[in-house]
Structure 1
Amino acid sequence: MADDIEIKADDGTVPPFATAPVGAVLGNAANALSAIGTVWIGLMMVMIVVDVIGRNLFNAPVTGVAEIAGRSVVAIVFLQIAAAVMQGRLTRADFLIRRIQRASPGMARFLDTLFALVGALVFAMILLASWPNMMEAWTTADFFGVQGVFTIPTFPFRVITVIGCSMALLACLYRATITWRTPNGAAA
């Protein structure tokens, strides 16, 4: 039996607020979606390698790889973005935030909170724009690809966008709340 390894909140792999009940549930859900996205990346890599080998060695490419890969990139981003928000790993100018943190921790906390709230607003707008597309894809059985050659329904990809946006929106709101309530902000 393996020894239990204690993970400390300050080691950079687990956000310091992930032990709170809401943070733990939201963080675990975000990490589960991210894990699905990671597996999807691996499967997509295998699919592309098989296509390249088939195309170059046997003159027999795998049908639909370009279409699946194109839709998969967007789906993977939305599967993994909530975990990035929860872990404070979204792209930002850390050198500037750290400088502000040293000079004025309150201002850095305000900017981190504002960043999370703007993120929530962006994800809310994407969610509002994506919902009708998802419902339309469901009711019309929308497909993409070349009819008679390769088609795949758009609905699963649209659902992933809506779920990913919803999770990212909740993660941004949670992060804004925790950052604002923590004296030095949520350490990212």
Structure 2
Amino acid sequence: MRFKSGAKANLLSRFISGMNLLGAGWVLFLVVLINFDAFGRSFLNKPLAGAVEIVAISMTMIVFCQLGDTIRLGKLTRSDGYIQGWLDGGRSYGRWIVAGFELLGVVVMSLIAFGTLPLMIKAYERGQYIGTRGVFHFPEWPIKAMIVFGSLVAALAFLRRAVRILRGRLAEDGLGERVPMQESQP
């Protein structure tokens, strides 16, 4: 099956959005888990075993599930005023500078992925886990796998943004349009 480049981009966008939805669903699961744990601690004097570990594990999982969509939408923290200065007036070097930052994001996310990969393999081979045996324990490798996978997806999102910026599709990615600042009310 052959895709047009737009179809590939749309498939990537849908996949990244699906990962974001998974992360949001996990947050909802955590809300329910924490409430059950609080109820158990307060009224039954019996906390849920592993609730603390699950919450700690989940923070990493949620971040790497939602990072790609944050990048795709251009919502990652950045200095828009500084970037906008390079883009104003139609200067071509501004696009190259902004695309360079996006490519730097590709490098950083790739370093995270490939730096975590050996740790994931080691955790799998050694059977490392989080928690206390007999109470609650969870294998470490799925967490590391999510870091590797989420970092690679984030690198793809950065790469896609860089290509779109260099092609002049700035407005579609949240760049190239000046957004008026709202004045704060006293």
TM range (shorter): 0.7 to 0.9
Tell me the SS of whatever aligns to 1:167: helix
Structure with more relative contact order (C-alpha pairs < 8 Å, separation 6 or more): 1
TM-score after normalising by structure 2: 0.84
Q: 1:95 aligns with which of 81, 95, 106?
A: 81
Tell me the SS of whatever aligns to 2:173: coil
Change (3 A) 1:70 1:183: closer
Alignment partner, residue 110 of structure 1: 96
Tell me the SS of whatever aligns to 2:64: helix
Deviations 1:99-155 (A, max 9, x none): 443355434322321221111111011011110111112222211101221111112
1:98 offset after TM fit, Å?
2.7
Matched, 1:76 2:62: yes
Once superposed, which parts of structure 1, at least 4 consecutive aligned residues long, lie more than 3 Å away?
183-187
Change (3 A) 1:187 1:108: farther
Alignment partner, residue 126 of structure 1: 112
> Which residue type is aligned with residue 55 of structure 2?
A
Change (3 A) 1:46 1:183: closer
In the alignment, the residues of structure 2 paired with residue 70 and residue 32 of structure 1 have an alpha-carbon distance, to the nearest angstrom, of 22
Change (3 A) 1:32 1:67: same
Q: 1:57 aligns with which of 36, 43, 47?
A: 43
Change (3 A) 1:183 1:46: closer
> Which residue type is aligned with residue 110 of structure 1?
W
CA contact (8 A) 1:108 1:185 kept: no
What RMSD over aligned residues (CA atoms) do the two structures have, in Å? 1.8
Percent of aligned pairs with the same amino acid: 28
Give unpaired runs (5+ residues) of structure 2: 175-186
Alignment partner, residue 170 of structure 1: 156
Give unpaired runs (5+ residues) of structure 1: 1-18
Query: Mapping of 1:33-44 within 5 angstroms?
Result: 33-44=19-30
In the alignment, the residues of structure 1 paired with residue 67 and residue 170 of structure 2 have an alpha-carbon distance, to the nearest angstrom, of 24
Matched, 1:150 2:136: yes
